[in-house]
């Protein structure tokens, strides 16, 4: 009997630790310096299910040569149930309570945070990246967009694709808006920012099952969770096919703003994937999975209104020049009342990310609560620093997103409104680098590189010209805005040259021309009465202002060039038949353009014709008595 009790007790504990409580989560990481990183796991728990491990959890590591697990220690837990004010005759708030099944209804949700000690990451990730996963079982049986949801678990993942430079993952600054009312427009923004100022892209992700065995290899292991008919990972909320009044979910790929409208009550699993790019390369990938709860609500209560501050109250988007002062009023109104007629409280929260100062500010501290209306002033002094990327390189434009959340305090589900303020900061006075017009090789084999003059008025934002080659890097520079050429020492090959112009705010923005090669001509003497010429094209595809043919010249006598022939642009070889008995000859190849000519170096060699002379035919024979010599005369030799 005692043995049977022990077995029963063990099975009971197993069931409790795996009871349906999974509502989502995310994994992020932070660079601590040197090769050290700290990982954070956030787990969203349905308080009506099993409790969590309040000691530690384990992340599994994939594709890394030596690291296989990371222990994340329990840090804190926070009740994310909607905050509201109970009034006489009204419903009470949702609360998480404590322990297993401590919640008092659907929508009682808890946020649990775990964090690792410093973890050393060395080496280079493979093409598929290093993957850091967390798995749990099981999902809520209340989910209406997944098939048999309580039979599936969850896998959360963060990926690192490139650590050539230190990197911290994007950060989710706004907690999920889990609970909302059916029949009202839903809007949410997780207010993601990137500590490294990397470019972010948002997309819907596939919810995956847990995988207690085997290696991480999606979609084989773990496998995607099947959706019920009418739903998919790209359409995770009820659309018009389910109810004609519904509006399908839309995720803005640039700022992460999520919108939809569903009149269909239910619970919906949804995943948002955030990809971070640096210099066009994928650096990292993080994701947040959540379970949205749509409930029937009081039809007379509506969300607060955050008035668009720009374009006469029509837009949340503004474009300014670096150095401009941004100043606008943010107005939030809500005329609705509580069920007993008392005024509702409006609470304004916001996300003002600031990696580079000066930082934006409001004239009230957040969160800020008032009744009926909130009006606050947003102030931000932009500078040239606000158009720099994380590596200090000036950009033509940097875009900043500021997310504000306004909520009332009606129980049990307060109405919430999000507004994403987007401000584009432009780098003014950017000068496009001119294209190299031609490259000429003089008789000393120096290269003269020419480009057209800059447009009138460029001096106000011009900082410098710089000449580079792919082979040797920076070759020359000048601060003269009127410069149109550089002369560089001899090189005895073809190199790839390009011009940069430093301009814009603070003179820190660099624009670049296309690469252009000098024409480098080689001469081969096969000692058969010919000269074999070979050269390179300035560009693989000719510019529109290039001539269609090269002109080939032979220098004889010295400093006198005779035109030999012309060949099409794509032909870069020519054989000249020597018609001089024995001379030192040089050659040059030219290419005309609309403004100047390319000309090559002038290689030379002693060359001899191989033509056999005709046997001369004498037409006169005489004897000079004064000199006692014979005189012979014949016609000139045609050979």
Q: 621: pLDDT confidence band, cut at 50, 70 and 90?
A: confident
Q: Which two tokens stand for residue 500?
A: 């940069």
The encoded tokens of residue 323 equal 């150095």
Give dist(CA 105, CA 96) in Å, integer. Answer: 9
Q: Measure the CA–CA gap between 190 and 208, rounded to whole angstroms.
A: 21
Element (H, E) at 71: strand 69-79
244 vs 145, 261, 295, 439, CA distance in Å? 18, 11, 18, 67
| Whole-structure pTM value | 0.82
Strand ranges (DSSP E) for 296-432? 305-306, 317-321, 325-333, 345-351, 361-362, 368-371, 373-381, 397-407, 416-426
Lowest mean pLDDT of 338-347, 350-359, 437-446, name the range. 350-359
Tens digits of per-residue pLDDT, 445-463? 999 999 999 999 899 999 9
| Average pLDDT for 178-190 | 95
Which comes out higher in pLDDT, residue 450 or 626?
450
262 and 188 Cβ atoms separated by less than 8 Å? no
Q: Would you state the pLDDT for residue 639?
A: 52
Q: How confident is the model at residue 637 (pLDDT cuts 50, 70, 90)?
A: low
pLDDT digits (tens, 9 = 90+) for 551-570: 999 999 988 999 999 999 99
- Over 70: is that where the pLDDT of 572 sits? yes
Q: How confident is the model at residue 622 (pLDDT cuts 50, 70, 90)?
A: confident
Which pLDDT score is estimated for 299? 78
Measured distance CA(14)–CA(7) in Å, rounded = 11
> For 148-220, where are the E strands, in sequence order?
153-160, 171-172, 179-181, 186-188, 192-193, 199-204
Q: Phi, psi (5° rounding) for residue 46?
A: -75, 115
Helix (H) or strand (E) holding 10: helix 2-17
d(CA 92, CA 411): 6
The residue ranges of every structural domain in the chain are 19-297, 305-428, 438-517, 522-608
What gap in Å lies between CA 491 and CA 467, rounded to an integer? 15
Has residue 219 got a pLDDT over 60?
Answer: yes
Give the rounded percent of residues in the chain with a pLDDT score beyond 70. Answer: 96
Predicted confidence (pLDDT) per residue in 36-50, tens digit: 999 999 999 999 989
Residue 11's pLDDT band (cuts 50, 70, 90) = very low
Residue by residue, DSSP assigns 410-437 as BSSS--EEEEEEEEEEE-TT--PPPPP-
Maximal CA-CA distance, the chain: 154
C-alpha 38: how far from chain center: 23
| pLDDT at res. 390 | 87
Residue-wise pLDDT tens digits, 27-85: 999 999 999 999 999 999 999 989 999 999 999 999 999 999 999 999 999 999 999 99
**Considering just the CA atoms, what is the radius of gyration of the chain in Å?**
38
Tokens of 527: 């000692």
CB 554 within 8 A of CB 587: yes
Q: How many whole angstroms separate alpha carbon 246 and alpha carbon 294? A: 13
Multiple choice CATH, 438-517, 3.40.50, 3.30.1360, 2.60.40, 1.10.760: 2.60.40
**pLDDT at residue 7 greater than cutoff 70:** no
Give kind and range of the element (H or E) at residue 56.
strand 56-62
Tell me the percentage of the chain whose pLDDT exceeds 90. Answer: 85
- 595 touches 544 (CB < 8 A): no
Average pLDDT over residues 603-618: 78
For 433, phi then psi, to 5°, come to -65, 135
Instruction: Say which residue, 163 or 249, is predicted with more confidence.
Output: 249
Beta strands 317-321; 447-450: pairing state: unpaired
pLDDT at residue 638, as a whole number? 57
Q: Is the pLDDT of residue 9 over 50?
A: no
Would you tell me how many other CB atoms lie within 10 Å of the CB of residue 621? 9
Instruction: Name the residue among 329, 435, 296, 321 with its Cα closest to residue 386.
Output: 321
Q: Is the pLDDT of residue 611 over 70?
A: no
Burial of residue 490 (CB within 10 Å: 0-12, 13-18, 19+) is: exposed
User: Distance between CA atoms of 452 and 449, rounded to whole angstroms?
Assistant: 11
Average pLDDT over residues 499-523: 96
Which has more confidence, 469 or 608?
469
**pLDDT class of 620 with cuts at 50, 70, 90:** confident
Rounded to whole angstroms, what are the CA distances from 202 to 205, 237, 251, 276?
9, 17, 7, 9
Residue 494: phi and psi, rounded to 5, are -95, 135
DSSP line for 445-503: --EEEE-PPPPTTGGGTEEEEEEEETTTEEEEEE--TT--EEEE---SS--EEEEEEEE
Tokens coding 475: 């070759």
CB 355, CB 195: distance < 8 Å: yes
| Interval 331-345 mean pLDDT | 94
Residue of higher predicted confidence among 633 and 461: 461
Please, what sign has the CA dihedral across residues 220, 226, 227, 229?
positive
Query: For the segment 363-394, what is each residue's pLDDT rounded down to a tens digit?
Result: 999 999 999 999 999 999 999 999 999 888 89
Q: How many CA atoms lie within 13 A of 12 on its CB side?
A: 7
Fold held by 305-428:
Immunoglobulin-like (2.60.40)
Task: Report residue 386 as tokens.
Answer: 């606000």
Each residue's pLDDT tens digit, 238-259? 999 999 999 999 999 999 999 9
pLDDT at 3: 40
Q: pLDDT at position 15, please?
A: 32
**Do strands 258-261 and 305-306 pair parallel, antiparallel, or not at all (unpaired)?**
unpaired
DSSP single-letter state for residue 221? B
Q: Which residue has the tokens 């207690």?
A: 212
pLDDT at 16: 36
Q: Regarding the domain delimited by 522-608, which CATH topology (the fold level of the hierarchy) does it fall under?
A: Immunoglobulin-like (2.60.40)
Burial class (CB in 10 A: 0-12, 13-18, 19+), 543: middle
Per-residue pLDDT averaged across 86-91, rounded?
A: 92
- Mean pLDDT, the chain, integer: 93
d(CA 283, CA 326): 31
CB-based contact 24:176 (threshold 8 Å): yes
Cα 74 to Cα 54, 210, 431, 587, 594, distances in angstroms: 6, 21, 53, 79, 71
Cα–Cα dist 491/618, whole Å: 55
φ/ψ (deg, to 5) at 593: -130, 180
Summarize pLDDT for 273-321 with one digit per residue, the tens: 999 999 899 999 999 999 999 999 977 899 999 999 999 889 999 999 9
| Residue 66, Cβ density class (10 Å: 0-12 exposed, 13-18 middle, ≥19 buried) | exposed
């Amino acid at each position: 009997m005692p043995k049977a009790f022990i077995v029963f007790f063990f099975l009971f504990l197993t069931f409790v630790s795996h009871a349906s409580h999974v509502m989502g989560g995310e994994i992020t990481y932070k660079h601590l310096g040197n090769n050290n990183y700290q990982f954070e796991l956030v787990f969203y728990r349905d308080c009506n299910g099993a409790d969590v491990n309040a000691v530690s959890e384990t992340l599994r590591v994939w594709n890394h040569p030596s690291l296989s697990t990371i222990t994340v220690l329990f840090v804190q837990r926070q009740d994310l149930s909607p905050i509201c004010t109970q009034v006489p005759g009204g419903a009470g708030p949702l609360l998480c309570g404590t322990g297993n099944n401590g919640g008092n209804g659907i929508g009682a949700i808890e946020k649990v945070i775990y964090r690792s000690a410093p973890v050393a990451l060395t080496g280079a990730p493979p093409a598929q990246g290093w993957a850091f996963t967390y798995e749990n079982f099981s999902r809520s049986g209340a989910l209406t967009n997944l098939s048999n949801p309580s039979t599936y678990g969850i896998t959360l993942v963060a990926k690192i694709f490139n650590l050539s430079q230190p990197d911290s993952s994007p950060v989710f600054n706004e907690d999920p808006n889990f609970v909302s009312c059916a029949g009202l427009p839903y809007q949410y923004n997780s207010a993601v920012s990137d500590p490294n100022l990397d470019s972010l892209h948002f997309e819907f992700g596939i919810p995956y099952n847990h995988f207690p065995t085997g290696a991480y290899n999606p979609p084989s292991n773990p496998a995607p969770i099947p959706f019920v008919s009418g739903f998919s990972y790209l359409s995770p909320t009820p659309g018009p096919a389910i109810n004609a009044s519904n509006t399908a979910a839309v995720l803005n790929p640039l700022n992460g703003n999520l919108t939809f409208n569903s009149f269909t009550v239910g619970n919906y699993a949804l995943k948002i994937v955030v990809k971070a790019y640096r210099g066009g390369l994928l650096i990292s990938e993080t994701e947040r999975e959540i379970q949205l709860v749509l409930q029937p609500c009081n039809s007379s209560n509506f969300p607060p209104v955050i008035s668009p501050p720009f374009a006469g109250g029509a837009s949340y988007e503004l474009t300014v020049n670096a150095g401009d002062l941004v100043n606008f009023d943010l107005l939030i109104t809500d005329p609705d009342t509580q069920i007993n007629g008392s005024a509702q409280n409006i609470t304004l929260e916001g996300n003002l990310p600031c990696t580079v100062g000066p930082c934006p500010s409001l004239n009230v501290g957040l969160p800020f609560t008032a009744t009926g209306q909130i009006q606050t002033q947003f102030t931000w002094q932009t500078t040239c620093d606000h158009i720099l990327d994380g590596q200090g390189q000036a950009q033509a434009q940097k875009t900043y997103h500021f997310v504000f959340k306004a909520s009332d305090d009606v129980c049990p589900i307060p109405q919430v409104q999000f507004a994403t303020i987007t401000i584009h900061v432009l780098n003014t006075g950017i000068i496009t680098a001119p294209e190299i017009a031609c490259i000429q090789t003089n008789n000393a084999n120096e290269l003269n590189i020419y480009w057209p003059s800059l447009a009138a008025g460029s001096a106000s934002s011009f900082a410098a010209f710089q000449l580079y080659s792919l082979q040797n890097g920076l070759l020359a520079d000048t601060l003269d805005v009127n410069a149109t050429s550089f002369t560089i020492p001899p090189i005895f090959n073809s190199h790839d040259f390009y011009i940069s112009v430093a301009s814009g705010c603070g003179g820190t923005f660099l624009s670049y021309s296309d690469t252009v090669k000098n024409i480098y001509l080689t001469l081969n003497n096969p000692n058969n009465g010919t000269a074999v010429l070979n050269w390179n094209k300035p560009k693989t595809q000719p510019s529109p202002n290039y001539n269609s043919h090269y002109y080939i010249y032979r220098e004889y006598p010295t400093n006198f060039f005779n035109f030999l022939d012309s060949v099409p642009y794509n032909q870069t070889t020519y054989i000249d038949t020597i018609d001089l008995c024995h001379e030192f000859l040089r050659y040059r190849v030219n290419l005309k353009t609309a403004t100047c000519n390319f000309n090559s170096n002038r290689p030379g060699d002693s060359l001899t014709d191989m033509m056999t002379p005709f046997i001369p035919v004498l037409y006169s024979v005489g004897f000079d008595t004064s000199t006692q010599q014979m005189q012979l005369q014949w016609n000139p030799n045609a050979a």
